[in-house]
Amino acid sequence: NAGVMQNPRHLVRRRGQEARLRCSPMKGHSHVYWYRQLPEEGLKFMVYLQKENIIDESGMPKERFSAEFPKEGPSILRIQQVVRGDSAAYFCASSLGADNEQFFGPGTRLTVL
C-alpha cells in the first residue's frame, strides 16, 4: 500500500523560473495539504485541497504561488518567478477525511540559485 508520493525529490531552479511540485496522495485519500519547512524550523501550513476544490489557502503567499488538485492526477503546487527565499522543503500530506490523521510524503527540496 503505497504512501504519499512526491516528485521530484530535489529541484533546482534559477531565479525567475517556474517550479512545479507534484503530490500523489495515499490510495483512497481525497484530502491534500501542502506545508513548507525552512531549515531548522517546523512545518508551516500553506494550502488544503479536496478534489477540484481549494478549501483553505490562508497560508499561501498571495502572489506567485498556486495549487490545484484536479479530478484526475496528482496535486500540483506551482511557484512562478522563483526567488532565493523560496528555497525550502515542501511537504505534501493526505488524509482519508477532513478529521483524519495526516500522512506525509518525503518532500521536495527546492533550491533556487
Partner 1 sequence: TQLLEQSPQFLSIQEGENLTVYCNSSSVFSSLQWYRQEPGEGPVLLVTVVTGGEVKKLKRLTFQFGDARKDSSLHITAAQPGDTGLYLCAGPSTGRRALTFGSGTRLQVQP
Smallest CA-to-CA distance from 43 within 101, 110, 107 is with 107
Residue 65 CB, shortest distance to partner 1, in Å, is: 15
Whether 97 contacts 32, CB under 8 Å: no
Residues that bind partner 1 (CB under 8 A): 4, 6, 31, 33, 35, 41-45, 48, 55-56, 58-59, 91, 93, 95, 98-99, 101-107, 109
Residue 40 CB, shortest distance to partner 1, in Å, is: 8
Residue 105 CB, shortest distance to partner 1, in Å, is: 5
Residue 72 CB, shortest distance to partner 1, in Å, is: 23
DSSP string across 28-62:
T--EEEEEEE-TTS-EEEEEEEETTEEEE-TTS-S
- Nearest to partner 1 of 64, 109 (CB atom): 109
- Nearest to partner 1 of 18, 52 (CB atom): 52
Question: Could you tell me the three cell numbers for 110?
Answer: 527546492
Question: How far is the C-alpha of 13 from the C-alpha of 98, rounded, in Å?
Answer: 34
